[in-house]
Amino acid sequence: MTDLAEPHLPVPVAAGFTGAAPPASGGAAGAPGEESFLTPIDYWLAEQQSLTAVERFAQHHATATTADHETRYRDLLPLSAPEPGEQYAFEVDLDSCTGCKACVAACHSLNGLDEDEAFRSVGTLLGGPRADPVIQTVTTACHHCLDPACMTGCPTLAYEKDPETGIVRHLDDQCIGCQYCTLTCPYEVPSYNTRLGIVRKCDMCAGRLAEGEAPACVQSCPTGSIAIRVVSVDEVMAETSRAGAALVPHAPHSAITRPTTRYTTKRSLTDDVTAADHRSVEPAHAHTPLVVTLILTQLAVGMFGLGLLATGSAPIAAVAFFTGVLALGASVLHLGRPQIAWKAVLGLRRSWVSREIVAFGTFAGATAAYALARWIELPGVVVGSLALVALATGVAGVVASVMIYAVTKKRWWAAPRTAVTFGLTTLVTGLGGTAAVLSLAGRLSRPLVVALAAAAAAKLIWDALPLRRARLDGPSPHAPLAATRALLVGPLRSITARRFAFGGLAVLFVLVMVAAGPSTPPAIALVTTALLLAGELFERRLFFLAVSSPRMPGELR
């Protein structure tokens, strides 16, 4: 025990001992009447009793100088607020990140998140040359983009970008839980909370920053790998505009939303480095209410448009109206807070979701008015005007539906492919519904049935194209469309089989209708339409489930 302190004279025990200095070894307590002395063990026991760990921590901070605090936090926060043309941003030193997830735990605790909710995650990059392999952990949260897709796509204006700090905030009170921001954000940042029925996300602990405190993730990182920096908007724009610009290898292209986070490393993270979870291809969210809404709105528009070409269009318009109303009702089931669904039209100036709602709402009203005008035989100019309004708004609604998914920049939802898919569905279901109504009225025509056969076959062939074994989008084995095909023939193969089973049966029934011509029994026409709708519903389910796109690295699963 002689290494505890330099030898010196024993220290007598004094009242109110606070452990000022450790004594030398030896010096046991003396006999009664003699002065008592402390051993090192006596000293450390007294020290532990006199000051708890919490008290020692508090005393350390109470006696620390301003310079001590500056030294500790200087590298975590900028010394001044952003100037015009600047904003706050995360900076991550990958070489210091150990993947301990202290940042995840601190964020979860400070923000009071639910068990299945997280604003920050940690993934892993693997690969590199055999001589210098790479195992790199990557912590990620909201990137507070210059052009946040979550804010652009929100129909209720539930997002705002602070003009002074650049922080992208989510306004919980404004959110209806439509979850469209979870589709538009390429980094999968917004997280839907099923208990609250709203989406929530990281706000860079804006309240702490306003008081000069570091965000929870920054302050909790034991290696100081996360920091807040002030970045130039012009520099971020230039950097994210470079060809192939991405935060880390195989992440979404930075030009989509202009993320401001900076990842720094002295290592070379080349294209042969991949995410640990890149081979984990899992189905996306099904969004069943949206599946029903899309099919029924396209059925309604198709029936109304084709009904204008047929005699006795008033009943067809009436069916289109009720189908459209049913579709709008199904869309409400997708909302976490349907009681404030009216807020979905607030984003009309920038959100395709708001435009879709307004277009289909107007379409439903116009079709009802058209059917009524035909029924009571109003003047032709009135009937024609109502037909034109209904047709225009219906087509506009389908176009808005296409754009909702095209703006996400996901390959499976690319504008050309989505437009053809939705257009063929509108044609096929419209022809099928019109044929069923005309068959019940005894007015079915052979040209209509032939057109239905051709459209149904074309749609079936179009849906089969992604199943080709040919390489679909480049050499990467985990490229988006290759991953989509892997889902269609793998985990989703039962749904894929049902889609083609119902579609194939529908084509057979249509051929029967072609042979029977105008004398086709109404029951056959109704069964054919039901089979067509079933096949389209399964196709639209695959539209959501099979989507895959580049994302930030995840963990090995």
10-residue averages of pLDDT along the chain (557 residues) = 40 41 46 61 72 57 57 70 95 93 95 93 87 88 96 95 96 96 95 94 94 92 93 96 90 95 87 80 93 97 90 82 93 95 95 97 94 89 94 97 96 96 97 93 91 96 84 50 90 96 96 91 95 97 94 82
Listed in sequence order, the DSSP H helices in 160-211 are 180-184, 206-210
Alpha-carbon distance 287 to 417, whole Å? 20
Does 254 lie in the same domain as 365?
A: no
Does 253 lie in the same domain as 186?
A: yes
| Phi-psi category of residue 174: left, alpha or beta, with phi > 0 → left and psi -120 to 50 → alpha | alpha
User: In this predicted structure, what is the pLDDT of residue 475?
Assistant: 38
User: In this predicted structure, what is the pLDDT of residue 314?
Assistant: 79
Domain count, the chain: 3
Domain boundary among 218, 250, 275: 275
Which amino acid is located at 183 in the chain?
L
Whole domain around residue 209: which residue ranges? Answer: 86-275
Residue with tokens 């920096």: 229
Alpha-carbon distance 36 to 34, whole Å? 6
- Helices 493-516 and 522-545: crossing angle in degrees, nearest 10, is 150
Does 330 lie in the same domain as 294?
A: yes
User: In this predicted structure, what is the pLDDT of residue 9?
Assistant: 39
Closest CA to 403 of 332, 350, 335: 350
- Please report which helix (H) or strand (E) contains residue 160, including its range: strand 159-161
User: In this predicted structure, what is the pLDDT of residue 471?
Assistant: 47
The helix/strand/coil state of 370 is helix
Token code pair at residue 84: 């015009």
User: In this predicted structure, what is the pLDDT of residue 268?
Assistant: 78
Which CATH number goes with the domain that contains 381?
1.20.1630.10
Range 56-60, long-range pairs (CB < 8 A, 24+ positions): none
Q: Which pTM was predicted?
A: 0.84
Token code pair at residue 430: 């419209």
User: In this predicted structure, what is the pLDDT of residue 349?
Assistant: 93
Question: Could you tell me if residue 550 is inside a domain?
Answer: no
- Please report which helix (H) or strand (E) contains residue 138, including its range: strand 134-140
Does 294 lie in the same domain as 181?
A: no
User: In this predicted structure, what is the pLDDT of residue 277?
Assistant: 83
User: In this predicted structure, what is the pLDDT of residue 398?
Assistant: 98
Neighbours of 252 (CB within 10 A): 21
- Spatial contact of 127 and 274, defined as CB atoms under 8 Å apart: yes
Residue with tokens 């920049």: 409
Token code pair at residue 474: 């480049």
Which amino acid is located at 32 in the chain?
P
